[in-house]
Amino acid sequence: MLKTRQCLLGIRTFLGVTSRIWSFILYILRKHLRTIIQYQTVRYDTLPLSPISRNRLNAVKRKILVLDLDETLIHSHHDGVLRPTVRPGTPPDFILKVVIDKHPVRFFVHKRPHVDFFLEVVIFLLTNFTNILMSIVYMCHCTLDLGSYIKDLSVVHSDLSSIVILDNSPGAYRSHPDNAIPIKSWFSDPSDTALLNLLPMLDALRFTSDVRSVLSRNLHQHRLW
């Protein structure tokens, strides 16, 4: 009888240990599977537009998309940062070497997940019927107000009904909130999909005569993240 109890106890102990080991193995497998999935290239089938869609696009004005860079499309840090927000050991997508006050400085640049695909689709959307016009707006083109710089969209084009700005900082576009698409600041999250989530909206904005009639409905989202 005692041997039977000892045998049952041994079996229970063995099953308990086996169950824990198996749970740990499943945890590792799921973790690696998520890593593999999140770095897979996302592809969409490009289908030709219908004649009705072509006629509608020809009837509306050309749209202009203003893209913020830092913490919207990329994140960067330099040699002197004591606590970078990127996980230690994460390789940068590229490194910029510049000289500041005669001192060489390296900037480590990390691209937001899916940014390459996002830009490819955006360029396709903007150039489907018209030639693309790209320009860079610097800080000198911004307006200084109460110690912060505001991006004046009228510098880009006088017709604000056709301009959309994508920026992680609501303060930067507070003069034109009806033209803005808010986006969460990005630093290091490899599972971020914010850029992908915006593609349907940008596609729909092509067909609007005034982008402000749509974007003004999202004013409640314009807050500091």
Active-site entry in 45, 70, 189, 210: 70
Q: Is 33:175 a contact under the CB 8 Å cutoff?
A: no
Active-site entry in 45, 68, 93, 116: 68
Q: Is 145 annotated as catalytic? A: no
157's CB contacts (< 8 A; 6+ apart) are 64, 163
Please identify which residue in the block is written with the tokens 């749970």: 23
Q: Is 117:42 a contact under the CB 8 Å cutoff?
A: yes
Give, as one character, the DSSP assignment of residue 180. Answer: E
Q: Is 70 annotated as catalytic? A: yes
CA distance 182 to 24: 40
Among all residues, which ones are annotated catalytic?
68, 70
